[in-house]
Amino acid sequence: MGEKWVLMKTAQTPTNIAVIKYWGKRDETLILPVNDSISVTLDPAHLCTTTTVAVSPAFQQDRMWLNGKEISLSGGRYQNCLREIRTRAREVEDKERGIKIEKKDWEKLHLHIASYNNFPTAAGLASSAAGFACLVFALAKLMNVSEDESQLSAIARQGSGSACRSLFGGFVKWIMGKEDDGSDSLAVQLVDEKHWEDLFIIIAVVSSRQKETSSTSGMRESVETSSLLQHRAKEVVPKRTIKMEEAIQNRDFASFAKLACADSNQFHAVCLDTLPPIFYMNDTSHRIISYVEKWNRSEGTPQVAYTFDAGPNAVLIARDRKAAAQLIQRLLFYFPPKSDTDLDR
């Protein structure tokens, strides 16, 4: 093989928001969760990661750039994803350019990876979820890997747990699995993005400050110290997941909203039940919850669901376009941005 050629593939993957939360691992290395979770995938036109992967005999080592800055690939999570995909690589041939890569060649060829998020990391969205999903999907395309999205999700999971849910659109379920090796802990699509097109998702960025407790360490502390987490994983989530799947299939927004809000609240209750307690939400987060609850009660049926991940920023899901328009107007009135520049973002 000549030294001049470069082979490239590009993939684009959106981020996702959990409506039944993943919090707590039963295996830290393989990233196996203590309960099932369900998420909604956001529109890739607005919030996504784009990753280009390239291979060439001229490359001396694996390298990666995130938003233009080079980052280290030495971490175990990146190495796990690269190793798992390389073991599944197959022969690749580009007849027009006279390039042929045998299966055995992938072990000694190096990769260059360029990844870009089209949303600010400060928004507190799960950028690692979209990032690892995109990395795995792009590498699978480059290396002609035959596994389907569910099988690839088990690899993406080893980079970031939530990443396994970003390989599908619509509503996605991450099955916790029972096997010790994690082979049955993967994501499946419940419904595609066309199933419930009435829904609008609005993200209210309450604070862009870095959180004091990372999700990884927070989960570990909750698993070790929270009795509520054990009760949630064993007793609450299995039943709630069944009800949430039914609400999604039936496009039953009233049930969906009640379940999503309850699960978000319980997740943050688990954080408070952790020793020492973890405070992800702030006063503005609490005011948004109070406002949405009052609005929903005054209408007699839920107009908006709220859910908060491990941070203060609100993800608000409106039942239709009319409710979304009202929500934006009311948010700007009750929670005005500090300046017009905040709106431009």
- What local confidence, expressed as pLDDT, does residue 343 receive? 47
Residue 345 has pLDDT above 50, yes or no: no
Nearest to 40 by CA among 58, 17, 74, 6: 17
Crossing angle for the helix pair 215-225 and 253-273, nearest 10 degrees? Answer: 80
Q: Which tokens belong to 48?
A: 């996504």
Q: What's the whole-number mean pLDDT along residues 8-35?
A: 96
Q: What architecture is domain 200-344?
A: 2-Layer Sandwich (3.30)
Q: What architecture is domain 7-191?
A: 2-Layer Sandwich (3.30)
Residues forming CATH 3.30.70.890 domain(s) in the chain: 200-344
Report the 3 state secondary structure along 147-180.
CCHHHHHHHHCCCCHHHHHHHCCCEEEECCCCCC
Q: Could you read off the pLDDT of 94-114 as tens digits, one per residue?
A: 999 999 999 999 999 999 999
Q: Could you read off the pLDDT of 34-88 as tens digits, one per residue?
A: 999 999 999 988 889 999 999 999 999 999 999 999 999 998 899 999 999 999 9
Model confidence at 339, pLDDT cuts 50, 70, 90, reads low
Residue 277 has pLDDT above 90, yes or no: yes
Rounded to the nearest integer, the mean pLDDT of the chain is 93
Residues 221 and 274 sit within 8 Å (Cβ to Cβ): yes
Residues 130 and 117 sit within 8 Å (Cβ to Cβ): yes
Q: What is the DSSP letter of 47?
A: S
Cα 217 to Cα 276: distance, rounded to the nearest angstrom: 12
200: helix, strand or coil: strand
Residues forming CATH 3.30.230.10 domain(s) in the chain: 7-191
Residue 344 has pLDDT above 50, yes or no: no
Residue 274 has pLDDT above 70, yes or no: yes
The residues near 53 (Cβ < 8 Å, ≥ 6 apart) are 8, 9, 10, 111, 112, 113, 135, 138, 139, 142
Q: What's the whole-number mean pLDDT along residues 308-329?
A: 96
**The 7-14 sheet, strands edge to edge:** 7-14, 48-56, 110-117, 63-66, 69-71
